[in-house]
Amino acid sequence: MVVREILSAQLVPLYPQQRVADALANMQLFHVRELPVVAEERAEYLGIAEESTLQQLSPSTLIATIPLGAQKPVIEAHAHVLEVLRIYQENKMSILPVVDENGRYLGTVTSDTLLEGLARIMNVHEPGALLHLQLATHDYMLSDIARLAEMNDVLILDVYTLYDSMHDIVNVFIKTNRMDISSFVATLSRYHYQLVQIFAPESSINSLRDNYDMLMNYINM
């Protein structure tokens, strides 16, 4: 997914002939701390007006006369959505202006549209259980986990990892396409994968817990 697909349809930019009072009112309306400033005729991106700067000025001051945060980052429309997440995290911004390859303003990514895009990438709306595995780094082979899933007719929709460098451990989060993954869990246990947690409806979790306990009792006989 690219940035062009998550542009906000509601947020409007500021223009040089608007006044500070208008800018602050729009920031309050859209619940943001910055707004992009755009040349009205050419749609050229000029910079970012910041709430902290505007609050120190007279409400009648023209946007054209104020210092803009031109050093604030922008992103091109063809960039990947995950690049937006990195820029947001590094700069603590409430919005991120989007431009084309010629610097023309195309729109803005907001926290809401970013979250919506990430949710689509991560398939959070697709039904299916989520597994949390924990294993030593040298034991982590995604191909092996995928093979075990395929053996149990389970499709892995997404995989997320969290590396613990202090303990050299990888936490692996697996989003599946099924709620009933008892056979997959049993197979993982047989291959000595450490299952930390299952995220699924309570009824499914109870069923999985019962099956897991039965399996472990059988193994320990």
Q: Strand 95-99 vs strand 105-110: parallel, antiparallel, or unpaired?
A: antiparallel
Q: Check: pTM over 0.85? Answer yes or no.
A: no
> How far lies 168's CA from each of 135, 137, 140, 211, in Å?
9, 6, 11, 31
Q: Strand 156-164 vs strand 169-176: parallel, antiparallel, or unpaired?
A: antiparallel
| CA–CA distance, 90 with 180 (Å, rounded to integer) | 39
Contact 72, 48 (CB under 8 A): yes
Contact 75, 83 (CB under 8 A): yes
Domain spans of the chain?
Answer: 3-120, 130-220
* 160: three-class secondary structure by DSSP: strand
CATH, domain range 130-220: 3.30.70.260
Report the pLDDT value the prediction gives residue 70, as an integer from 0 to 100.
Answer: 61
* Per-residue pLDDT tens listing for the chain (221 residues): 899 999 987 889 999 999 999 999 999 999 999 999 999 888 899 999 999 999 999 999 999 999 886 667 899 999 999 899 899 888 888 899 999 999 899 999 998 899 889 888 888 888 899 999 999 999 999 999 999 999 999 999 999 999 999 999 999 999 999 998 989 999 999 999 999 999 876 544 454 455 445 444 544 44
> How far lies 124's CA from each of 120, 159, 175, 198, in Å?
7, 12, 9, 15
| CA–CA distance, 19 with 59 (Å, rounded to integer) | 7
CATH 3.40.50.300 fits 3-120, yes or no: no
User: What are residue 37's DSSP bridge partners?
Assistant: 14, 47
Taking the CA atoms of residue 92, residue 132, residue 123 and residue 152 in that order, the dihedral angle to the nearest 10 degrees is 160
Give the closest residue to 79 by CA, choosing from 52, 57, 59, 109: 109
Report the pLDDT value the prediction gives residue 168, as an integer from 0 to 100.
Answer: 94
User: What are residue 40's DSSP bridge partners?
Assistant: none
Report the pLDDT value the prediction gives residue 211, as an integer from 0 to 100.
Answer: 47
